[in-house]
Amino acid sequence: MHESRRRLPPDGFQCGETIEKEDALTFVIFHCKTPLNERLEFCCREPSCGALEEKENAAQLTDDDYTVDPNFFDEGYSMAGSTGFKVWTGSRLLIETLAWPQSSDSERLKEIQKHICNGARSIELGAGVGVVGTYLSAMGSQVLLTDLPTLVENSIDCNLIRNKKTTTSSKPTAETNEISCPTWLAPDGIRIGKGWANATPIDWLHPLDGQLTTEQSSSVDFIIASDVVFLVSMLNALLETVESIFQASSSNNPSFILSFQRRDAKDGEGSGTFTTVNGVFAAVEKRGWTLDCLAWRPVTVKLETNGIVTDDESEVFVFEIKPHL
């Protein structure tokens, strides 16, 4: 991967975790700071995975803190859906890439960063607990966060309310957002920092028609997704949904910003479980789309084999994917 796109952690960006108990249940509160030094908080069911730097406070849960998944039998819920209740490595790099400019960033990335902070209309797929979409809203974007109904009802909605109007000093500018909620996020849009956010369910296994309104599907400037295609079975369903949004919002010339962590150590062909970097490239090329790496970073991940935990080196990427005009 091009060395110039390698991104170091920005100065001033801090995350951490604390533990919160309610009605005999234990939750992890993931928190992070924006460039305006505003604090965002997200209630999670488990500690994050790879989203914290070495010196940042990490929550430590005991065996007694873990409970049976209360949503296990929800319709459409799956193992992949259950991973949405925690924060993953790709979310951090995606936030840093889009919201913390660096002098070495490409000209295209600088264009995206400026748009994000000045009212870009984004839809997040597989939002999980809502970290990325909420963060971009705080920076000035209009964001529709989406995931399976279980995640929207039991995580995203609660976290949007938790971060509602995080600062009284945030005021819209002529270039950013209006004071009233944008119509495509109405009537339940929530003011987050300088921007707006709302949430709605989307299941990638079903056609987009009927899951979004015409205005929602046709208002998109950016499609955002973070660490959502680690399983091979998820990639095609995600790209089908992305293609539907590309078509519905074609007048906006939208692009798809995807963070992706390599989980196959060899990244070989034909991985039976995990999506590979080559697999993403091939799927995008098959649809006639283009892919550009905006940023990447080496990461150390924990591997457990027969009860033995070891460190392994991997990478996490931020790609921009666009349809041919």
Question: Tens of pLDDT along the chain (325 residues)?
Answer: 567 799 999 999 999 999 998 887 899 999 999 998 999 999 999 999 989 998 999 998 887 777 766 665 566 656 555 688 899 999 999 999 999 999 999 999 999 999 999 999 999 999 999 999 999 999 999 999 999 999 999 999 999 999 997 544 445 544 444 578 999 999 999 999 999 999 999 999 999 999 999 999 999 999 999 999 888 888 999 999 999 999 999 999 999 999 999 876 555 555 577 889 999 999 999 999 999 999 999 987 665 555 565 677 789 999 999 998 6
CATH number of the domain encompassing residue 90: 3.40.50.150
Average pLDDT taken over every residue of the chain: 87
How confident is the model at residue 308, as a pLDDT? 61
Q: Encode pLDDT of 101-147 as tens digits.
A: 999 999 999 999 999 999 999 999 999 999 999 999 999 999 999 99
How far is residue 227's CA from residue 50's CA, in Å, rounded to a whole number? 12
Kindly compute the dihedral angle of the four CA atoms of residues 1, 319, 304, 56, in this order, to the nearest 10 degrees.
Answer: 100
Nearest partner of 224 among 101, 93, 102, 106, judged by Cα: 93
Give, in degrees to the nearest 5, the angle at Cα 204 between 200 and 205.
130
In sequence order, what E strands does the chain have?
A: 15-22, 25-33, 39-44, 121-125, 142-147, 190-192, 195-201, 222-226, 255-261, 290-305, 308-322
How far is residue 55's CA from residue 61's CA, in Å, rounded to a whole number? 18
Domain hosting 306: range is: 3-322
Domain count, the chain: 1
Q: Which residues of 272-291 are buried (b: 16+ CB within 10 A; e: fewer)?
A: eebbbbebbeebbeeeebeb
Nearest partner of 46 among 126, 127, 128, judged by Cα: 128
